[in-house]
A and B are shown apart, each in its own frame.
Chain A
Amino acid sequence: MSSFSSSSSSGARGRSALNSNILLVLLAGVLSLLFAQQVATGWLALGERLNISRRDFNLLELVTIASGALWGVFALWTALGMLTQRAEVTVRDYFDEGGPMPAGVRFAAVNFALISLICLLIAIQVFTGWLPLGDRVNIPRSNLNFVEWITIIIGLFWTVYCLRTAVGIWRRERPAWSWGQWALLLMTMGGMVLVVSGLFDIQRMLSSSRASSILDNFSGFLLLMMPGVLLTLASLAAYRDITHDYGDVRTQKAITGTLAERARARDIASKRVPAGQAIRNRLAASPGAGAIIGFVGLFMAFSVATDLFLEPQSLAGALTNNITRGIVAIGATMLMISGEFDLSVGSLLGIGGMTFMGLITGQFPPGIQPMHPVLAAVTSVAFVCALGYLNGFILIRTGIPSFIVTLSTLLMYRGLPLVFIVGGRTLRYVDYSNEPPLVDISRILLIALAVLGALALAFVGRALISARWADFRARWANLTQDDGDFRYLAAGWSGLFIFLTVVMVAALAYLLVGSVIEQISLISQGSPFLEISFFDVLNGRITSLPFIGEIPRDVNFRVGVVWWLVLVLIFQFVLTQTRYGNATFAVGGNAGAARAQGINVNRVKITNYVLVALLVGFASLLDASRLQSIDALRGQGLELEVIAATVIGGALLTGGYGSIIGALLGVFIFGMMQTGLVLIGIDARLFDAVIGGIILIAVIINNWSRRIR
């Protein structure tokens, strides 16, 4: 085709994005041909090549050459077709008006058929044991392990899904347009994961062999990179080509006019949103978009980068090391949403731990008798709360910005441990007592707690199951009337969800009943009290889990993790479901409007300062219990880490916006970085630098996703 026609057709389409699409397809085709050429010339050897001369190709190589060449030609042909296509040929016409098939749609349909075939082959290979996956030590080939079963199930599902989509596109079925978008988006992401894992493998290859650059082992490089690169390029190009006229952009952008007109326009547009935009909208609805993307991205990156990351030891360590940070971040988020922040949390943590340790050992305040651990815990938390109240009180009374107020108290509060724990000494519990701080817990109390838990479970479980059941029934009944593109998937997911809910509720009920029976039998055996170390109640090592069994010694999984997650649930509930949570948002979002609606702004702020202090106090108990010691500088630097986690989680420094779940993910990101960077062998001194970069990226993503709304 002449350059004239190409420029006129692209000009008529008027979208430069489409030109880059052609380039993507072109690139994919050229790479595929290159790959086939490398195999055909014998430079890139595949399969088992013992005692075969370079010119004798084995079956795998022959198949690769043929399919690589064919697919490459097909991609080039598609690129040519896209280039010469008339402007009237659009995807919308193809599906809605019975117009001719655009080259991009044909490309997508053929690739779906191919992917379907490949998935089927992989599933069969795994099922027959030819392709072993996961840990296969001492397992006969015919016994499939968990990873293999999952792979087979996903492989078969994807086979059916892609085949159905290919057929649907061929038969101009309107829902197939939407199915295809989601599948292509997922495959683009999958291709990117393959690329990343290929990069890690190359790095490993370079460090293990004597090769100094990828040029020394170019065919190996091709082999590792090609599947991911081809999948990414082809899926991305097809995705962009079939989505570009999905949904009416003009309607979507109709933001002038009356409320009613806009509402109608948006109503129409909202039903036809491309998959990528749908995901972005969903992310924009939650404050922690950056945290969600960061969490998923880092989790996948570390999982493919090192096998050690998904080991229980690593995950438990990542959680256990962040209990303190996680609990304090909950409070910091509440406070930041109400428009203030607290730099003194690190010092408060030090004071809390020191008071608790000092009281149970009789070292602080000077000249007291060792106190009962429970009393000591309550006293120290109350003391920290009083100091938190002081923060809020000074802020409200003086009107000085919270940065200055809490910067001052950060320095002032730190003075207390520095004075009382003299000269860099560490106050260790074992130096003062030979036995742990034992407490006697009445088994009657335990039974009462279990009964209370059972009541709560019955209440929540009933509500949850009946709501899910109604949802499932409605979906099932409307399956024929529903015009949603994913009604079968949604109904299936709804069914799976109700099944899982029932299983979880049943398991919890079983545990509660079992523990009540056990406690009753122990009482009847003449043991009315449970004697246990208070340190273990707060933050002991969990040695075994119900339904899972013994936890190995080297997995450091602590009770504090459970406390942390429970607190996250409680405060998420308070923030999103109660009047107090609403008031917190309003105070930070627009104090004047909140005051005008009768909210006592000062009281909300002071309450949040006390809540932060309460959480810091509790966290200090867990921290002291884990290490069973306290030193004068405990908690230094905590304030900035916590603010970082909160901001990654989507809270605005200016107040009025944020989420507890976001802060949880922010802390998870911290934990993953600590563990993951060590595991992939990056210098630990770079940790802070990497965290800094992540904060910046997360906040940029958060701002970007907020603007989409």
Chain B
Amino acid sequence: MSAGHDGPLVEMRDIVKVFGTINVLRGIDFQVDRQEIVGLLGDNGAGKSTLIKILTGVHTPTSGQIIFEGQPVHINSPQDARALGIETVYQDLALVPLMSISRNFWLGQEVTRRIGPFEVLDKEGMAERTRQALLDIGIHIRNPDEQVGSLSGGERQSIAIGRAVYFGKKLLILDEPTSALSVGETAKVLEYTKAAKARGMSVIFISHNIGHVHKVADRFTIISHGQKVGDFRKEEVSEMEVAGMVMTGEVPERLRLVPASAGDD
């Protein structure tokens, strides 16, 4: 792969994180290319959420380097991550249930118009642009003024994804996006994830459900006990093999012969 701004979107090198005496991450290399969906897999306690929290600024690494768009960066707070264009969609923390779709969409960056000395929210404008923006990636809503609380889990995830796409984020982190969704809604969320990729975003997809990850991801990164088990392109491995690696933390015989190509620099 070529270097410079055509290189990986984000690259985490030799990340170590120690909590007290516990070695949670023992030197992990992790990277996401542009317009790539990476499935981050691992059993509970493998260290995947710690790795993601380092990327989103919740934790700072004990040692290691993060390179974003070719530049070394220090992400010390969630605000830093946001400023870089990293958006995390958590199951429960994405939207405010008691507020309308439109208000959620524009939360923190509302459109205003001036009336004399006052800045007044442009509600109609925001509602219309919300509807249009969501329609652009295939999400239909009838009424942008509807409360988010009346929507289903999948619809909420979709709207959060649509918001990240609209505001030109570069990296979308989906943390267990499908864990509480019905089959139909899961399909929708996976579809919007692909739509986000088509619009130029990179996605880290974290899930326990290997079936869901396998449907959308271009590549899998599997970690176990704070270490990377391996990086595999989707074509190289079957769903069963991935499941086996997540459970045992061991790379099967067949794959050991093939060098893990995609993850290497």
A interface residue numbers (CB < 8 A to B): 258-260, 262-264, 266-267, 456, 459, 463, 577-579, 582-583, 585-586, 589-590, 592-599, 652, 656-657, 709
Q: Is the CB of A579 within 8 A of B119?
A: yes
How close is B87's CB to chain A, nearest CB, in angstroms?
8
Which of these, A259, A577, A597, contacts B107 with CB under 8 Å?
A: A597
State in angstroms the CA–CA spacing of A459 and B112 once bound together: 18
User: Is B95 an interface residue when CB atoms closer than 8 A count as contact?
Assistant: yes
B 186-209 contacts with A by CB, 8 A = 188
Provide the residues of chain B in CB contact with A709, threshold 8 Å. 147, 150
B95 touches A593 (CB 8 A): yes
User: Are B140 and A593 in contact (CB-based, < 8 A)?
Assistant: no
With beta carbons under 8 angstroms apart, the residue of A595, A596, A657 that contacts B98 is A657
By a beta-carbon cutoff of 8 Å, the part of chain B in contact with chain A is: 78-79, 82, 88, 90, 92-99, 103-104, 107-110, 112, 115-116, 118-121, 139-143, 147, 150, 155, 158, 184, 188
* Cα A589 to Cα B97 with chains together (Å): 7
Q: What chain B residues lie within 8 Å of A585 (beta carbons)?
A: 96, 98-99, 103
**Nearest CB of B to A22, in Å:** 36
Chain B's closest residue to A595 (CB) is B78
With a cutoff of 8 Å between Cβ atoms, the chain A residues found around residue B184 in the complex are 258
Is the Cβ of A578 less than 8 Å from the Cβ of B140?
no
How many Å lie between the Cα of A582 and that of B94 in the bound state? 16
Q: What 8 pairs between A and B have smallest CB-CB spacing?
A: A263-B142, A597-B108, A589-B96, A260-B140, A592-B93, A656-B98, A590-B96, A589-B98
In Å, the complex CA distance between A77 and B147 comes to 48
Contacts A582-B103, A582-B107, A585-B103: A596 and B140 contacting too (C-beta < 8 A)? no
- CB<8 Å pairs between A and B, sample of 7: A578-B112, A585-B98, A589-B97, A592-B90, A596-B90, A597-B107, A657-B98
Q: A582-B110, A593-B107, A656-B97 are in contact. List 11 more A-B contacts (CB 8 A).
A: A262-B142, A266-B142, A578-B118, A582-B103, A586-B99, A593-B93, A593-B94, A596-B94, A598-B109, A656-B99, A657-B98
> Once the chains are docked, how many angstroms separate the CA of A583 from the CA of B106?
11
Q: Are B96 and A586 in contact (CB under 8 A)?
A: yes
Knowing A586-B107, A593-B96, A596-B94, say if A579 contacts B121 (CB, 8 Å): yes
- CB nearest neighbor in B for A589: B96
Name the residue of chain B whose CB is nearest to the CB of A709.
B150
Q: Could you say which residues of chain A place their CB within 8 Å of the CB of B158?
A: 259
What residues of A have a CB within 8 angstroms of the CB of B143 in the complex?
A: 263
Q: How far is the CA of A453 from the CA of B35 in the complex (A)?
A: 56
CB distance from B263 to the nearest CB of A (A): 29
Give complex CA distance A459, B115 in Å: 9
CB-defined contacts of B142 to chain A, threshold 8 Å: 259, 262-264, 266-267
B96 touches A259 (CB 8 A): no
Known pairs A263-B142, A596-B88; A578 contacts B94 (CB<8 A) = no
Which A residues are CB-close (under 8 A) to B147? 709
CB distance from A420 to the nearest CB of B (A): 41
A594 and B121 form a contact (CB under 8 A) = no
- A597-B108, A598-B108 known; A577 and B94 CB under 8 Å? no
Pick the contact of B97: A260, A266, A459, A590 (CB < 8 A).
A590
Contact A578:B93 (CB < 8 A) given known A586-B99, A593-B107, A709-B147: no
* Contact partner, A579, options B79, B98, B112, B141, Cβ 8 Å: B112
Cβ distance A132 to chain B, nearest Cβ, rounded Å: 50
B120 touches A577 (CB 8 A): yes
User: Complex Cα distance A186/B150, Å?
Assistant: 30
Minimum distance in angstroms from A124 CB to a CB of chain B: 47
Q: Do A259 and B93 touch across chains, with their CB atoms under 8 A apart? A: no
CA of A79 to CA of B235, assembled, Å: 74
How far apart are A376's CB and chain B's nearest CB, in angstroms?
Answer: 29
A578 B120 Cβ-Cβ under 8 A: yes
Choose from B98, B121, B139, B188 the contact partner of A582 (Cβ within 8 Å): B121
The distance in angstroms between the C-alpha atoms of A260 and B158, with both chains bound, is 13
A656 to B98, CA, bound (A): 6
